[in-house]
Amino acid sequence: MIRSFRGLVLAILAVLAMPVMGQKAASRVSGLEIYNLTQQYVNLAPHRYVGSADHARAEEFIKSQFAPEIAKGTFETDSFAPLTPIGQVAMRNYIVRYPGKKDGIIVLATHYETNYPLKDINFVGANDGACTTALLIEIGHYLRAHPPEGFSVWLVFDDGEEAIKDWSDSDSLYGTRHLAAKWSKDGTILKIKAFLLADMVGDKDLNIDHDQNSTPWLLTMLSAAAKNTGHTASVFRNETAVNDDHLPFKQRNVPVLDIIDIDYGPHTSQTPDGYHHTAQDTMDKISAKSLQVSADLFLEMIRLINLRG
């Protein structure tokens, strides 16, 4: 009996000594590095609406971060030219593949451009597109050094998420609508275990929405991921139903999760929607702390999806 009790104690101590996923995640990808990279991106390409010189600079910035993947042939430029309210517009998605050891794909996606209708104001989209682009780049840097042990992880930097004129089913989500259709045609979509979208995750007052347009089991998993990483206070304060880049994949029965905090900044008579889609969406409104929370959640989601199989 004493011997068994001693064995039990030793087993418990061994478990307690094991690294917790949340602790490991916090040291894997740095929120400060994501913040600094966001600043570089905004400085280089502040007004990234499609067709602009800054949009071209944004594309070059993304490509510069993945030179090893370009050399290996695991970086793809997906060019397309949809018809928009201003005519046919050249757009590009960028896809970075990190092969895993299991058959299946986890997709992490974000849009990288800024809102076209706001091109005439000083809109830089620090939270809306810039910080999530930096987040995925830093996750890519991590995966380069630590290739996936489970499912393959694909990063998607999609173009044309924003409406060109007025948001509608036909004037929005150009990049992901194109990609979902393309992957449906070639069979890739059948291999996707989950499509995880990053959008507006840098808000200093971060609280990820419980998005009704996301797949229920992935929402449950996000709650578990938050608990595992010590970030329960940063999720599910608000319930929303966001029209975002995950919808074209949801419509094709892919499990989807929008990791987004749409409630961004104070709601006043001057800014009824907070800082969202205003010139106040600037670097001082986001934080390295919030970006750390977001990085931890994404890495833990990858781990949990692999455990689920």
List, for residues 166-224, the tens digit of each pLDDT value: 999 999 999 999 999 999 999 999 999 999 999 999 999 999 999 999 999 999 999 99
Domain count for the chain: 1
∠ Cα 303 28 135 (to 5°): 85
∠ Cα 185 187 189 (to 5°): 100
Pairing verdict, β 83-84 and 87-88? antiparallel
**Average confidence score pLDDT of the chain:** 92
Distance CA 42, CA 52 (A): 14
Confidence at residue 12, expressed as pLDDT on a 0 to 100 scale: 37
In a domain, 2, yes or no: no
In a domain, 201, yes or no: yes
In a domain, 10, yes or no: no
Split at pLDDT 50, 70, 90, the class of 270 is confident
In a domain, 11, yes or no: no
Q: Taking 70 as the threshold, does the pLDDT of residue 281 lie above it?
A: yes
Do 258 and 243 touch, CB atoms closer than 8 A?
A: no
In a domain, 41, yes or no: yes
Distance CA 153, CA 275 (A): 32
pLDDT above 90 covers what percent of the chain?
90
- In tens, the pLDDT along 17-64 reads 333 433 344 448 999 999 999 999 999 999 999 999 999 999 999 999
In a domain, 9, yes or no: no
Q: Taking 50 as the threshold, does the pLDDT of residue 95 lie above it?
A: yes
Q: What is the CATH number of the domain that holds 115?
A: 3.40.630.10
Other CB atoms within 10 Å distance of the CB of residue 133: 28
In a domain, 103, yes or no: yes
Which domain range does residue 189 map to? Answer: 21-308
Span 224-244, average pLDDT: 98
Give the three-state DSSP class for 309.
coil
Q: Taking 60 as the threshold, does the pLDDT of residue 116 lie above it?
A: yes
In a domain, 259, yes or no: yes
Residue 239: enclosing H or E segment and its boundaries? strand 235-240
The pair of structure tokens assigned to 134 is 């930096």
